[in-house]
Amino acid sequence: MLLMNLRTLSARALRDRTLCRMLTTQPNAQRPESLKQHRQQQQHQLQHDFPAYKGQSYDEVVKLRKQYLTPNVTSYYKKPLLIHKGRGAQLFDQEKSYLDMFGGIVTVSVGHCHPKVNAALEEQMRSLWHTTNIYMHPKLHEYAEKLVAKMPGDLKNVYFVNSGSEANDLAMVIARLYTGNHDIISFRNAYHGASPYTMGLTAHSTWRYPLPGLNSGILHAMNPDPYTGIWGGKQCRDSPVQTTRNCDCQENECKATDKYYDQLEQIFKYSLPRGKVAAMFAESIQGVGGTVQYPKGYIKRAAELVRANGGLFISDEVQSGFGRTGEHYWGFEGHDIVPDIVTMAKGIGNGFPIGAVVTTRKIADVLSQALHFNTFGGNPLACAVGIAVLDVIDEEELQKNSLDVGSYMLKGLEKLRDKHDVIGDVRGKGLMIGVELVADKETRQHLSAPHFVDIWEMCKDMGVLFGRGGLNANVLRIKPPMCITKADVDFSLQVLDTALSKHSEKARQNC
């Protein structure tokens, strides 16, 4: 009955997030009479609380965008949103509020405009904006101490930059200097940045320009994907939800790991100088690639192989760090390894531009061979924000919330997978979740773009913003601010359920 009620709600009514949080996936969780009464109360409150938009008109913004921005700057949705305010897990355009289940591309970690983070930035702005690191300033050193305290082992030296691409750029330089080797391995389907240097690491044709030298010293290993890869199945992932794909693995034994590892060994046997590799990069869970998880035990064995051949293992925590995976503060801890270098960005600053490279003193010493300088890296404003973000994650127990709420959502999505033929796979850990949409569950053929967009647009119209990823752009990327609640999850599941049902009904009518 609730689903029928939801279908009758207008898009305008759905803008009320407090109302949305009352919706659950349980058919009898809310009687229609009380739901209607609640709607009326919240609509009245919304008239007082909804932030007024005072900027340029939508049409003016569209005109300016076309006139002055480079044409590669594209927007989500057929009619792009004009967002002017954020609060917690909500985003606001001129008329509606939306539940942000993508966190500004996995960047808003503790919530939009978090009061403590805002206050830290405002206080720092009143005292010192910038000096560059030719002088010392207290925030840089305070932040460095707090950040490396979160790192295991000897990972106690940090260099601050401004983005994930910059962090991975620098990690590549450090690895090549330290080892004296040139070749670096990353995975097919990986995304490590879009700068000219990191574009070689990124193995998505959609993100690569035809530039000379792009692949100089870069090799791409077979992606160990238990769902769409050659091997894998329902015993292979470290996730609350396993793929339905059949495999020969036992509960605590993943044969796919052995087979993918054999493929990695082939690179060392045939494509590298014997015993000479600079590094291997790996996201702990692939982000842009569609929340792809590796078979259990693979990353640990890969790290051992790289080190045995003179290289460093580099964990890209740009999307999976800072408690997002729930069980651990860093995604690599889920693979039972301590990397040689860790790169991070995005959620580190809750939307403020900051990134970092963390390594050991011994490895970091190679940067002393020449001058290396980053004008804005570790600036006072960024460091003040970074400190506040670390504090909020601890004080509000957002890592635990990621585990609890994320596992709750994964289980809810699993039920939707079993209900809807269009959901092929549900995967992830904590609040790093992917939902792969397919045209055929047996063949795992990806859902075509028009059909995916139909579902995606309906979710937006009903008040929920999901990301989009995977090489075929058929994966719903769910990486919200880590402050979301189970009520937010209930609403998201209800909206997705409704969109999938409507899409299936359209498909039946068109047959």
Report percent pLDDT > 90 for the chain.
Answer: 83
pLDDT at 10 over 80: no
**Are 344 and 416 members of one domain?**
no
* Residues in CB range of 44: below 8 A, 6 or more apart: none
Tokens (6 digits) for 99:
């539940």
- Residue 15 near residue 7 (C-beta atoms within 8 A): no
pLDDT at 207 over 60: yes
* pTM exceeds cut of 0.85: yes
Distance CA 301, CA 279 (A): 14
**Are 392 and 478 members of one domain?**
no
Categorize the per-residue pLDDT at 347 as very low, low, confident or very high, splitting at 50, 70 and 90: very high
For residue 254, the model assigns a pLDDT of 86
**Are 178 and 231 members of one domain?**
yes
**Are 108 and 226 members of one domain?**
no
Residue numbers of the domain that contains 163 = 115-396
For residue 421, the model assigns a pLDDT of 96
Of the candidates 139, 110, 80, 120, the one whose C-alpha atom is nearest the C-alpha of residue 385 is 120
**Are 362 and 477 members of one domain?**
no
Q: Tell whether 85 is covered by a domain.
A: yes
Q: Tell whether 35 is covered by a domain.
A: no
**Are 102 and 228 members of one domain?**
no
For residue 250, the model assigns a pLDDT of 77
What is the arithmetic mean of pLDDT over 363-386? 96
Categorize the per-residue pLDDT at 288 as very low, low, confident or very high, splitting at 50, 70 and 90: very high
Backbone dihedral region for residue 264 (phi beyond 0: left; psi -120 to 50: alpha; all else: beta):
alpha
Q: Tell whether 470 is covered by a domain.
A: yes
Of the candidates 396, 426, 445, which is a domain's last residue?
A: 396
Distance CA 216, CA 213 (A): 5
- The tens digit of pLDDT for each residue in 162-184 reads 999 999 999 999 999 999 999 99
Helices (H), 274-315: 298-308
**CA 333 to chain CA mean position, Å:** 17
Of the candidates 376, 396, 416, which is a domain's last residue?
A: 396
CATH of the domain at 454: 3.90.1150.10
For residue 507, the model assigns a pLDDT of 84
Q: Which residue has the tokens 């999901």?
A: 466
For residue 133, the model assigns a pLDDT of 86
Distance CA 9, CA 247 (A): 43
**Are 91 and 142 members of one domain?**
no
**Are 98 and 119 members of one domain?**
no
Distance CA 332, CA 484 (A): 23
CATH of the domain at 310: 3.40.640.10
Of the candidates 396, 423, 445, which is a domain's last residue?
A: 396
Strands 279-283 and 184-187, how do they pair?
Answer: parallel
Q: Tell whether 52 is covered by a domain.
A: no
* Total number of domains constituting the chain: 2
Distance CA 7, CA 70 (A): 39
Q: Tell whether 27 is covered by a domain.
A: no
pLDDT at 493 over 50: yes
**Are 403 and 492 members of one domain?**
yes
Q: Tell whether 32 is covered by a domain.
A: no
Q: Tell whether 53 is covered by a domain.
A: no
What is the arithmetic mean of pLDDT over 319-336? 98
**Are 385 and 264 members of one domain?**
yes
- The tens digit of pLDDT for each residue in 84-105 reads 999 999 999 988 999 999 999 9
**Are 230 and 254 members of one domain?**
yes
**Are 119 and 219 members of one domain?**
yes
Q: Tell whether 255 is covered by a domain.
A: yes
